[in-house]
């Protein structure tokens, strides 16, 4: 199995997991009160962000495109017609969000975490587009 396919499988798994957790989350207070729920959601979000970064970086490298940082790697997805510009624009924030989750976990704005769970459709679109690229590459 290719590294891209493996990462996309992790993305599918984490998206499904977050969707299963969403009913337990009534708002920010749920995250404050339930450490296990908060940790579970935060880890899944970090993993999802990292998958997008890894896949975007790999696709950039395959096209011979340079990137100075992860945001630029994600932005480079727009050079592939299979990624809609509107989708790429929404994904560009993920490297920064990942950094906040990893480095600012003590003071993270939990409202952003709750909001992220209501925007999983963007990641579904990414998964579909990235899967199409991976499928074509394997042929």
pLDDT tens figures, 51-73: 999 999 999 999 999 999 999 99
- Domain span at residue 41? 3-138
CATH of the domain at 50: 1.20.120.580
The count of domains in the chain is 1
pLDDT tens figures, 85-121: 999 999 999 999 999 999 997 889 999 999 999 999 9
Q: Is the pTM of this model over 0.85?
A: yes
Q: DSSP states of the chain as a string?
A: --HHHHHHHHHHHHHHHHHHHGGG--SHHHHHH-HHHHHHHHHHHHHHHHHHHHHHHHHHHHTT---SSHHHHHHGGGGSTTS-HHHHHHHTTHHHHHHHHHH-TTS--HHHHHHHHT-HHHHHHHHHHHHHHHHHHH-
């Amino acid at each position: 199995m290719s590294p891209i396919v493996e990462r996309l499988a992790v993305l599918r798994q984490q998206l499904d997991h977050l969707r299963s957790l969403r009913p337990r989350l009534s708002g920010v207070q749920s995250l404050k009160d339930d450490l296990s729920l908060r940790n579970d959601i935060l880890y899944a979000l970090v993993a999802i962000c990292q998958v997008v970064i890894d896949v975007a970086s790999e696709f950039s490298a395959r096209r011979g495109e340079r990137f100075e940082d992860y945001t630029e790697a994600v932005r480079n997805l727009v050079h592939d017609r299979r990624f809609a510009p509107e989708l790429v624009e929404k994904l560009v924030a993920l490297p920064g969000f990942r950094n906040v989750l990893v480095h600012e976990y003590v003071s993270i704005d939990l409202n952003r975490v709750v909001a992220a769970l209501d925007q999983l459709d963007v990641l579904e679109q990414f998964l579909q587009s990235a899967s199409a690229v991976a499928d074509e590459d394997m042929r």
